[in-house]
Amino acid sequence: METSDLEKYCEKALREGATDAKVIDPATVVTAQWVLQKCLFGCPYRNGYCCPPYTPSPRETRAMLDSYKRAVLFHRQSPGEKGRGKKNMDCFERLVALEGDLFKDGYYKAFVMLAGPCLLCDECGKREELPCRFPDKARPSMEACGIDVFTTARNNGFFIQTLRAKSETQNLYCLMLVD
């Protein structure tokens, strides 16, 4: 798999907050129905535009993944410190901008999936049946699309584990589908 043309995008992400960036084969991304159930029934942030049932099902996500030959898996280590959420959101906004850079450079299929819930608004407009306030920035998480992030990260040589306390370092993953 050719990766040299994507190195400059990986390097930019590293300069802008990612800990690691690796070009991967989308076939190594694992989807599973149980992931969607965890979002629907185990997440306190559910019921937003970037949450199920407004996101692709695991089957739809698999079909989308299968239409790509390359992707970039971004890893971000996020220490358990005050302001962690803001730093993560800044990094995620830069990844959305990177998606735009890829598109402008001819990678017209570029699409990024972020980590965790969308936190662009204090309260999602969905709750009041208002349109999304930031449709240009809002992206679903890998989890919300039925991606098993733990297995996907491990399939690609990355470390991830569940946390016992909020003070522990999180290992977050975002996926940029490229071409």
E strand spans, the chain: 20-24, 71-78, 111-113, 170-177
Delimit the domains of the chain by residue range: 4-160+167-177
Using pLDDT thresholds of 50, 70 and 90, give the confidence band for residue 125: very high
Average pLDDT over residues 75-100: 92
Asked if residue 117 has a cis previous peptide bond (ω within 30° of 0), the answer is: no
Tokens 């039925």 locate to: 146
Q: What is the pLDDT of residue 10?
A: 98
Q: What is the pLDDT of residue 14?
A: 97
The predicted model scores a pTM of: 0.95
Give percent helix, percent strand, percent coil of the chain, each to the nearest 5: 40, 15, 45
What is the C-alpha to C-alpha distance for residues 27 and 160, in angstroms, rounded to an integer?
19
Query: Quick check: 46 pLDDT over 80?
Result: no
Q: Between 128 and 14, whose confidence is greater? A: 14
Query: Quick check: 45 pLDDT over 80?
Result: no
